């Protein structure tokens, strides 16, 4: 039986962010579950994350929060449709003026969310108990 211990991850550099990216692969979110707070410089996203580490079909509610966010841009994301679903493919970092840069959440269908950040400051936390799902994400080669 897989360990049901919730994930709690902190990323402060590109290597750490790669771990969060792996954990979020195939996570799904509704556009309405994305919140940017400009005054707090915080971007928060809520996902249903596929628990690859469980070794079986499970999802869990997960939150990702980016701090030090200066600007958020979206491309090919239906912002007028809060129930539109996004599927995360990867989370990457493009360095800018050190230690800042751009954190990009790449989504299936070619959409992405780009957050210009002062530095990498990301927290990922599972916020629910896992539940079974009959659908395992599949990847075409």
Neighbours of 33 (CB within 10 A): 18
| Residue at 37 is within a domain | yes
pTM over 0.75: yes
Q: List the domain range (segments joined by +) for residue 110.
A: 8-128
Q: How many domains does the chain have?
A: 1
Cα 30 from Cα 136, distance rounded (Å): 19
pLDDT tens readout for residues 4-61:
789 999 999 999 999 999 999 999 999 999 999 999 999 999 999 999 998 889 999 9
Q: Are 66 and 42 in contact (CB under 8 A)?
A: yes
């Amino acid at each position: 039986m897989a360990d049901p211990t919730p994930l709690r991850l902190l990323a402060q550099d590109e290597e750490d962010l790669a771990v969060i990216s792996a954990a979020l692969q195939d996570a799904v979110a509704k556009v309405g579950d994305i919140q940017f707070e400009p005054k707090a410089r915080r971007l928060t996203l809520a996902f249903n994350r596929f628990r690859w580490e469980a070794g079986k079909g499970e999802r869990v509610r997960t939150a990702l929060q980016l701090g030090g966010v200066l600007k958020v841009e979206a491309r090919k994301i239906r912002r007028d449709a809060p129930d539109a679903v996004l599927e995360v493919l990867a989370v990457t970092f493009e360095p800018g003026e050190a230690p800042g840069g751009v954190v990009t959440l790449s989504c299936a269908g070619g959409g992405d969310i780009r957050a210009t950040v002062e530095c990498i400051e990301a927290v990922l936390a599972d916020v629910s108990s896992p539940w079974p799902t009959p659908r395992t994400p599949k990847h075409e080669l």
